[in-house]
Structure 1
Amino acid sequence: MAEQENGAADAAAQTQPQVKLNVLTQFIRDMSFENILAQRGVGGEVQPDVQVAVNLDAKKRSAENQYEVATKVNITSKNKESEEPLFLLEMEYVGVFHIEGVPEDQLHPFLLIECPRMTFPFLRRIVSDVTRDGGFPPLNLETIDFMQLYRNEIARRKAENATQKADA
């Protein structure tokens, strides 16, 4: 009886394609760090208020099964008391992936959830190093919930489409 159950499980595993995911390369496409505090020479005690905005983009490359996923971060730090900006960091970090075995209807969420999840630790390290080298305490970004980010974007798009249809 156990042999029949194992055989059924093996057959089910064979009918589902094996997902293959390889990171081919990752790189900074664009980065800008403006140390406004140093430019203005603001002195005294500052209490930073940091805002982080994240945007994702994915596209198919010309090579078969290759995709490019860009994580764009926009980080602004302001003094809590005076609202004066301390620094601005903008970065586009790109991963190139070889992906096989993901069904077409699941590819979009896979690209915008799993791929950025793999490159995020590297992006976080760069942000930490750049802010530290810029004369600030290293900024260690909190882990981003890419699944929730994806769900929020889908909900935003549905609401936007509903608004457009209502206006038409």
Structure 2
Amino acid sequence: MTDETAQMPVENGALTNGSDATSPAIRVLAQYVKDFSFENPHAPNSLREGSQPKIDLQLDVSARAMEEAGVFEVDLKINARSERDGQSQFIIELVYSGLFQFANIPADAFEPLLLAECPKLLFPFARHLIANTSQAGGYPPLMLDPMDFGALYASQKLESANAQPA
């Protein structure tokens, strides 16, 4: 299997796909753990069997332009807290980031790309880190359900539009 994005040549700072220099293009330049924390405050007592744990999951996405034209950093922030019988089992805080380069993208398409499509590309890697870390902490792997970032983005846009005064 080949990596399509790795084969996109860059000419004069703009992405090309080999056929049309005006075609829209997105390229993942890098992805990385920006911040990561795992706390297991009540181990080993919290590792004992008990009632079903309650998982509180919070997710946030942010993006910012970098100094290089057309390059943006997208942060996917995931906080997961497991509690059982009123006591914390574990707390995971992760900021998983990516650098994305865009070429020939209309201005009105940037926001949905940055806040829906880019996090969709980052999520599987963040999910894997969280599952492995919770398992290394002595718990069953925390397998996050797949996220529909497009629907989350649309819902957030609708909420903000409804919150605006008429």
Asked if 1:78 is matched to 2:78, the reply is no
Of 94, 108, 111, which aligns to 1:105? 108
In structure 1, the partner of 2:127 is 124
In structure 1, the partner of 2:50 is 45
Deviation per CA, 1:15-44: give whole Å up to 9, x if none: 9x42211111111111111112316x2444
Q: Which has the greater radius of gyration?
A: 1
Measure the CA separation in 1 of the matches of 2:86 and 2:23: 52
Measure the CA separation in 2 of the matches of 1:46 and 1:121: 29
Opposite residue 24 of structure 1, the aligned amino acid is: L
Give the alignment's Cα RMSD to 1 decimal: 2.1
Greater mean alpha carbon deviation, residues 147-156 or residues 136-145: 147-156
TM-score (norm 2): 0.80
Deviation per CA, 1:53-105: give whole Å up to 9, x if none: 110001111001101100001111111xx222211111111000111122101
3-state SS, counterpart of residue 79 of structure 2: strand
3-state SS, counterpart of residue 61 of structure 2: strand
Query: 1:1-168 maps to which residues of 2 (within 5 A)?
Result: 17-38=22-43, 41-42=45-46, 43-79=48-84, 82-162=85-165
Q: Structure 1: which 5+ runs fail to align?
A: 1-13
- 1:110 deviation in Å? 0.9
How many residues are matched?
147
Measure the CA separation in 2 of the matches of 1:147 and 1:92: 20
Measure the CA separation in 2 of the matches of 1:83 and 1:45: 12
Measure the CA separation in 1 of the matches of 2:110 and 2:49: 51
Opposite residue 91 of structure 1, the aligned amino acid is: L
3-state SS, counterpart of residue 36 of structure 1: coil
3-state SS, counterpart of residue 127 of structure 1: helix
Opposite residue 85 of structure 1, the aligned amino acid is: S
Q: Structure 2: which 5+ runs fail to align?
A: 1-18
